[in-house]
Amino acid sequence: MVIYVPTPLSKAGMYLACAKKMLCSKSLLLNQDIEIASPYTLATLQNVIPIKANVILISSKAKTTQMLELGRVNYIIFGDDTQTKMDKLQREFQVVEIKTDNIYHVLHKKHQLLIPRLNKALKIVINKHKTSTLVGGDF
């Protein structure tokens, strides 16, 4: 059994990117006539989001994005940290956020006594990072 430290490390998002000329909304995920390229299998996506579209499995996010850039596909689904800058992707394509979730540090239950200390330490590190980022420092 696993447990997690309650302070989130970050947020992860699932996104739909579409060619500029195409309609782009979450409702496309439920259209069985649409093909969407993704580095994730249909079964994996169905565990995270409601989807009925046909999923074309591509080996990586980079290759999936390249397929969209080359015009070989009109739609892609990908996951990313919500802190990631997607300026280039958003300039070239329409990008719709499908879902976001927190990312947590996971532990085996035998380490549950460490959770209060780890939680406190994570809060300190995350706050230092936020402060450092605000003043232009590196983390």
Q: What is the pLDDT of residue 133?
A: 59
Q: What is the pLDDT of residue 59?
A: 94
- In the chain, where are the structural domains located? 10-103
pTM: 0.79
Q: What is the pLDDT of residue 139?
A: 43
Tell me the average confidence (pLDDT) per consecutive run of 10 residues in the chain, 139 residues long.
Answer: 90 93 96 97 95 96 94 95 76 93 93 95 87 55
Q: What is the pLDDT of residue 19?
A: 96
Strands (E), the chain: 2-4, 10-18, 35-38, 54-57, 75-81, 94-103, 106-108
CATH 3.40.190.10 assigned to 10-103? yes
